[in-house]
Structure 1
């Protein structure tokens, strides 16, 4: 099942560290078959406050997403970003093919006795 690394980035300072991070991140993802789905796009906020932007990476599975994040190559890059751009990063599994939210709702209703 596809796993995702999702980062929310607030405005920061563009400088040599950040540019090096951007230049080198793909090479840290390649061994784990990671790819960008969203990068540097302007967000359209339709609910709630959201200062900044979003980055979404896809990996074939959670094992490879975790391995990428923990890899020495990526760990070495992280400070280049975090010293200048505040944000959060999460890893999350996607849903399997054929996922049906109505089945999830039915299960949740049953569990809640509703």
Structure 2
């Protein structure tokens, strides 16, 4: 069953740190079966507080998603994201077709 990591950027604190993250984040996908379905496209908040953007990544299953997120390569890069902004990140299982 596919699994998704949904990132919502809530507020930016350091644009330079986010720029460093953006330059390096895609390289962490090497060797992982991941597809970006949403990458800061146009959005409309229908409920809840305002956000600054959304990213949705699809993985074959939750174990693969955790493997990428918890992997050494991403954990080095994510420090710039932590410094640059406040995000909410959620891992959710998909629905079998």
TM-score range, shorter chain: 0.7 to 0.9
Q: Is the 8 A contact 2:40 2:54 kept in 1?
A: yes
Unaligned stretches of 5+ in structure 1?
A: 98-114
Aligned residue in 2 for 1:78: 78
Equivalent residue pairs, number:
96
Which structure dedicates a bigger proportion of its chain to helix?
Answer: 1
Greater C-alpha Rg:
1
Unaligned stretches of 5+ in structure 2?
A: none
CA-based RMSD = 1.4
Q: Distance in 2 between matches of 1:42 and 1:82?
A: 23
Runs of 4+ in 1 over 3 A off after TM superposition: none
| Deviation (angstroms), 1:36 | 1.1
Which structure dedicates a bigger proportion of its chain to strand?
Answer: 2
| Higher relative contact order (CA closer than 8 Å, sequence separation 6+) | 2
TM-score normalised by L of structure 2: 0.88
TM-score normalised by L of structure 1: 0.76
